[in-house]
Amino acid sequence: MVKSSNQGYPRLGEKREWKFLLEHLWSHKIDEAEFTAQTKALRLANLKKQQTAGVDLIPVADYSNYDHVLDTAVAFGAVPQRFGEFTEKLSLADYYSVARGTKDAVAAEMTKWFNTNYHYIVPELDHVQFKLLDNRWLTYYNEAKAALGIDGKPVILGPVSFLKLSKVNDEYVRGELLAQLLDELLPLYVQIFHELAAAGAKWIQLDEPTLVTTDKAELDLYRHALEVLHEAAPEVNVLVQTYFASLDYYTEIVNLPAEGFGLDFVHDHGENLQALQAHGFPETKVLAAGIVDGRNIWRSDLTAKQTLVSQLREKVASAQLWLQPSNSLLHVPITTANEHKLDPVIKNGLAFADQKLAEIVTLTKAANGADVTADLQASQAALDQLNHSEHRNNPEVAQAVKAILAAPTERHSAYPERVKAQKVLHLPLLPTTTIGSFPQSAEVRSHRKAWRKGDLSTADYQAFLDQEAKRWLKIQEDLDIDVLVHGEFERTDMVEYFGQKLKGFTTTQNGWVQSYGSRGVKPPVVFGDVQWTEPITVRDTVFAQEQTDRLVKGMLTSAVTIINWSFVRDDLAKNLVADQIGLALRHEVQALEDAGIKIIQVDEPALREGLPLKPRYRADYLANAVKAFKITTTGVKDETQIHTHMCYSDFEDILPAISALDADVISIESSRSHGESIKAFEQTKYDKQIGLGVYDIHSPRVPSVEEIEQNIDRALQVIDVHQFWINPDCGLKTRKEPETIAALRNMVQARNQVCAKLGVTE
């Protein structure tokens, strides 16, 4: 019989219970004992839901107290030396020190998990001697078995992928070092497998996502690891799990020594199915087929999925076939049951994690001959109602996009002419600014909550926002920052805010997903054709500009970032949706310029995040991203300065696209990656202005003046002083006020000291 499976379940909790537990622990509102007890209860409740839903193969040990890659690193004793030496399992305090930093130790680097909006902690393997400090996989396997009778499927990040996601000397592990470290690490995996086998585990899900991006030469490393593990624990079945793309070396990989392989049949551009049909599948192995989209929130077309299952069964025996989501459900919200305010047509078209598991179970029942006609009919009716609604069939939007694409989307003049026109801005050498947001204090959040509940009038809420903006404008002036921002206190999220203002978007009540650590985001939902109907940011930006003689930036989020950080309709190609959003934002940019705003920042932090994992698809993606950005930004005068911001990027391979955006100033995260982003500019000369973030905002740690000065000096070795801006690496919304002010004060002082060395007096 065909079986149902899941790869992983969201951690946050239906109403972010997990997030609040972490933050209450950090703020000492609860102790470790209460934290441990409550997170266990939440973890078991999540497992119980999957058990009740009828999932046959339930993942265990997919839970984390912060991040699963960090869990793997600390379990193997791979802790950077600056946090101390450890010979036994890390305490929670030590664990969180690695993730968040301390007064004396910079936090471990954090970067995006493949091409998702989830961030993982990058293991640093310099001087590491691997040792098994914690078999967490055994702990969680035993817990599920004892508490719920679940014979779970432990989820372990595979040894090759773990190493390839790690760094030594600020470089990702590759080549001979990868082979060397693998031999050092494998005995620990052997011990884990031995202990799981002794406990009765029948299947282990070994996540090797790097198999979708591997070079053929590296396949021997995966083979070696699997041979060692099979020899050590032959009684345990190993499922090698991949996701997010297809296998380039399909035949070689599915013949590796493992009992099963998990393949993504959603985000593979149809290539895994083509390979399966062309080459078949080993008769004795399990195919765990990811057939329901684990990264988006739309209801599946179950009729189309049944067709896919039929195609799979032509090559794979029923007893060897598992049906599952395309990837861990970490990337979607938990349930639509708590969405009470959505338009019913939209809500009925949605499927969060629990609904996706229900789809998997329904498809599994259908494959095994059960009568699921009623479920199929109800699902199809909901999809048809959404697709045929006026939301997705707006001729005015289609005509407007066609018109803008027929016109040139270029600035009036090339950058060398624009930079001359922008001298009217009277900016100093090494100008200072911030990325846009300032701390959203408890007071800001409480006022927003009261306003939303109707306990605070709109007028009183706006007056509070104005007062907060005025206060932070004064703080920025006192700190002597050159280009100011209004602080974005009216915005809960840089994408959600625009989703609340543009037609064709909606927002959820509890559609939270984990971004990093306790940080949850609630992506807006692009459900229909997108249209600008009225100014969004103009009032608050103009108000801020009226309070100061210094320049204030207008702040927008660009189309591709909105796409990458939203749940986007799946009935229309993403690049076409991006064009609609780009045009809507063009109206906003022009409204800001018409209102007298001279600097407008159109943020694109997720540009690289959406870059396809396969190089063959990247040129089209980047061309479409540049097109959407320029639709937004090219209608302004030469003297209007366009900024953009990007973060968590390896920039070498997209610098041509960054330049093609034709923004006058870009700011880029570089501090947490220890300045390695600068390397991209050593190879390629960048001809516009740039700010490489000079300190990390993702940690509460306040950097010293000397540390920031070193970062500036390092950047000025490769970037001309007349091109360089001084700024933090990202927005400051999640930071506390005292640490924010202290860090910015040090940033300005570091700039001043660099200017003094350069002999600049003003």
- At 405, list the tokens: 């694409």
For residues 709 and 153, give the distance between their C-alpha atoms in angstroms, rounded to a whole number: 50
609 is in an annotated binding site: yes
Let me know: does 385 contact 522? Beta carbons within 8 Å.
Answer: no
- At 506, list the tokens: 């909606």
688 is in an annotated binding site: no
Measured N-to-C along each axis, helices 705-716 and 737-758 cross at an angle, to the nearest 10 degrees, of: 50
Q: How many residues does the chain have?
A: 762
26 is in an annotated binding site: no
For residues 296 and 727, give the distance between their C-alpha atoms in angstroms, rounded to a whole number: 34
603 is in an annotated binding site: yes
For residues 327 and 6, give the distance between their C-alpha atoms in angstroms, rounded to a whole number: 8
For residues 302 and 366, give the distance between their C-alpha atoms in angstroms, rounded to a whole number: 10
Let me know: does 166 contact 124? Beta carbons within 8 Å.
Answer: yes
- At 759, list the tokens: 């002999």
Instruction: List the catalytic residue out of 119, 447, 486, 698.
Output: 698
> What is the number of alpha carbons within 13 Å of residue 464 lying toward its C-beta?
19
390 is in an annotated binding site: no
647 is in an annotated binding site: yes
**Annotated catalytic, 698?**
yes
24 is in an annotated binding site: no
For residues 333 and 505, give the distance between their C-alpha atoms in angstroms, rounded to a whole number: 17
- Which residues are 526's β-sheet partners? 505, 568
Residue 259, amino acid: E
Strands 503-506 and 525-531, sheet pairing: antiparallel
For residues 692 and 690, give the distance between their C-alpha atoms in angstroms, rounded to a whole number: 6
Residue 576: CB partners within 8 Å, gap ≥ 6? 401
150 is in an annotated binding site: no
388 is in an annotated binding site: no
Let me know: does 17 contact 40? Beta carbons within 8 Å.
Answer: no
532 is in an annotated binding site: no
Strands 525-531 and 286-292, sheet pairing: unpaired
109 is in an annotated binding site: no
- Which residues are 690's β-sheet partners? 666, 724
Residue recorded with tokens 């608050």: 540
Which ranges in 8-112 belong to alpha helices (H)? 17-26, 32-53, 68-75, 92-100
- Closest by alpha carbon to 378, among 309, 300, 297? 300
Let me know: does 10 contact 329? Beta carbons within 8 Å.
Answer: yes
> What is the number of alpha carbons within 13 Å of residue 157 lying toward its C-beta?
26
Question: CB neighbours (10 Å) of residue 329?
Answer: 27
- Rounded to a whole number of angstroms, the CA Rg of the chain reads 26
Q: What is the DSSP letter of 131?
A: -
For residues 1 and 633, give the distance between their C-alpha atoms in angstroms, rounded to a whole number: 56
> What is the number of alpha carbons within 13 Å of residue 389 lying toward its C-beta?
20
Catalytic residue ranges? 698
Q: Specify binding-site residues for 5-methyltetrahydropteroyltri-L-glutamate.
A: 16-19, 112, 117, 565, 609
The annotated binding site for Zn(2+) is made up of 645, 647, 669, 730
Q: Which residues are annotated as a binding site?
A: 16-19, 112, 117, 435-437, 488, 565, 603, 609, 645, 647, 669, 730
